[in-house]
């Protein structure tokens, strides 16, 4: 298969046993990006946590300095002055019961959902719809807030949400292949710095175990931690 050949060729140029300096890792993944579209640059960070322990469930959001290369469609549950604030901040959809009914009818044409605290009663009624899609507003992610304008602007500017999976790995898209190398580097450093700041007190041993970069159709490249943490 054509894709298989491309991937095999990419593996020939990557030493999978080596941890590359961050600058070299970025150049390597970009050189191997062969898709006919602007591939996403993905980061995978292996953490020394046990996600089964509630206090080690790493979850949060980070505003990337160079953005993500894509604009999210944002919906907001709010009413009155807060609804007006959301609209002025650039929210694509704003409502309360009408928005709930629309979602119940299957109209989920947004990628981020924000709600004021007083709206969570309504939101909770459609939690079974939102939860599986990863759209349920959460205070830890800054999506349940009275500061709806700031939340909307952050989402539009390139804020990335993340959550550790059952194997202790955090995945996120942190840019596009078309980004300048230094912009990808800024985003990698900001993402890892945020994770470092979330180390649980109960996490023993090595916390930041491994970082790898890849593109949508490319091979993964391990990154030397010393080149990220400085």
Residue with tokens 């800024």: 186
E strands, the chain, where?
Answer: 40-47, 59-63, 74-77, 93-95, 112-115, 159-163, 169-176, 208-215, 221-223
- Point out the domain boundary residue: 124, 157, 190: 157
Predicted confidence (pLDDT) per residue in 137-188, tens digit: 999 889 999 999 999 999 998 889 899 999 999 999 999 999 999 999 999 9
Q: Does residue 1 surpass a pLDDT of 60?
A: no
Assess whether 115 and 79 both reside in one domain.
yes
Count up the domains in the chain and report the number. Answer: 2
**Which pLDDT score is estimated for 32?**
84
**Which pLDDT score is estimated for 35?**
72
Position 219 confidence tier, pLDDT thresholds 50, 70, 90: confident
**Which pLDDT score is estimated for 211?**
96
Average pLDDT over residues 1-6: 53
Predicted confidence (pLDDT) per residue in 30-64, tens digit: 988 877 888 999 999 999 999 899 899 998 989 89
Strand 40-47, strand 208-215: pairing: antiparallel
Q: Which of 8-22, 116-130, 197-211: highest mean pLDDT?
A: 116-130
Q: Does residue 9 surpass a pLDDT of 90?
A: no
User: What CATH code is carried by the domain that includes residue 104?
Assistant: 3.40.50.790
User: What CATH code is carried by the domain that includes residue 27?
Assistant: 3.30.190.20
């Amino acid at each position: 298969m054509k894709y298989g050949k491309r991937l095999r060729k990419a593996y020939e140029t990557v030493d999978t046993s080596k941890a590359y300096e961050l600058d070299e890792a970025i150049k390597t993944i970009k050189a191997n990006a062969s898709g006919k579209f602007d591939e996403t640059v993905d980061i995978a960070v292996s953490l020394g946590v046990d996600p089964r322990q509630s206090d080690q469930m790493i979850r949060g959001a980070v505003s990337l300095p160079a953005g993500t290369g894509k604009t999210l469609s944002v919906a907001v549950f709010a009413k009155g002055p807060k609804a007006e604030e959301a609209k002025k901040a650039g929210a694509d959809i704003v409502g309360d019961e009408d928005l709930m009914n629309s979602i119940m009818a299957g109209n989920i044409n947004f990628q981020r959902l924000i709600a004021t605290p007083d709206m969570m009663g309504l939101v909770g009624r459609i939690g079974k719809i939102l939860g599986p899609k990863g759209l349920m507003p959460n205070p830890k992610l800054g999506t349940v807030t009275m500061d709806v304008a700031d939340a909307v602007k952050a989402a539009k500017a390139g804020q990335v949400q993340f959550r550790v999976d059952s194997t202790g790995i955090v995945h996120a898209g942190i840019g596009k292949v078309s980004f300048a190398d230094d912009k990808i580097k800024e985003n990698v450093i900001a993402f890892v710095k945020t994770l470092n700041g979330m180390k649980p007190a109960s996490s023993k041993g090595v916390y930041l175990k491994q970082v790898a970069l890849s593109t949508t159709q490319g091979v993964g490249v391990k990154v030397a931690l010393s080149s990220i943490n400085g």
